Structure 1
Amino acid sequence: MRIIMAVLLWMGAGGAWAAPLDTVFANIDGGTIEMSDFRGKPVLVVNTASQCGFTYQYDGLQALYDAYRDRGLVVLAVPSDDFNQELASAEAVKEFCALNFALDLPMADVSRVKGADAHPFYRAVRAETGFVPRWNFNKVLIAPDGAVAGSWGSNVKPRSPKITRQIEAMLP
């Protein structure tokens, strides 16, 4: 199965291996989020869910974004119902995050993060590293050159030194 997915990624990228920054997310506000726009910047991508015990991490994601965005960090929230803990619609997710966390970081539309129907970003990460989110609030750090620089599970908080040390090393 992994070989089939790798071939599909290769074919979908016009004959070249797809990379995480070669993908596009639907934006929760409409339009798209072109990951290629973030080339040259570190990008922390986090699969989120509104009804999860880790939802409090939205505060940490916003604080991380606030601390480093002026130096180039992008934090992208990717709501997902793959673990049956997301609200019923993108509109409900957006309202929940605005009311409870005052988020202004970029947010994708509700997306799949695992399995055969996973978003191309997550398929590219899996092809490159073998990493697949095992729960909500898993984190993937993309280096400015587009390579996967690290991945962490739900228990690693957004402002953990494990994450911030790597981010700081990538910032001017």
Structure 2
Amino acid sequence: MKIFLSITLIIIAMNVAAQEVNKKVHDKIHNKDILLNACSRQGLITFPEFKEMYDPLYEAYIPDAATMIELKKLIKKEHIKIILGTWCGDSKVNVPNFFKVLDALQFKEKNTEIIAVDGSKKAENGIIDGLNIINVPTFIVFDKKGNELGRIVEHPKTTLEADLLAIFKKKK
């Protein structure tokens, strides 16, 4: 059984690794071109419709300094998945602000995974299966073992940095 599971996981990993990064497709629900599946940050922030709001919002967002100091102390080797829609207004607003927070924390880019979904909030090859994505953006924090610590769905309850702090404090 263990061998079967290991082989299955390897096949899934190979499918994900073989995926085209920053794949552009036409979304029938929104009748526009979107990004789908795994994305790089560079691919995301240069995608025309997303870039339009990204640059000014990223520049304008100022994370709360006191919250950031506290948050910085708690970050270790967590992993963050960002599930977004390049067509989605909430994604266009909150993703740039979230990246501003991550950059201020000097969060390692290799520990961040970006996945774009279509208008049905689906991606290909099962890369978001089991994540229970209902709204986007969804920011999911995982510990180094892959256990979910918490998530921010669509928009923060207070601020992105305060909501992240609440997730990291639960980890203790």
Which TM-score bucket, shorter chain as reference? 0.3 to 0.5
TM-score with structure 2 setting the length: 0.48
**Structure number having the greater helix percentage:** 2
Report the structure number with the largest CA radius of gyration.
Answer: 2
* Larger strand share, 1 or 2: 2
Kindly indicate whether structure 1 or structure 2 has the higher relative contact order, using CA contacts under 8 Å at least 6 residues apart: 1
Q: TM-score, normalised by structure 1?
A: 0.48
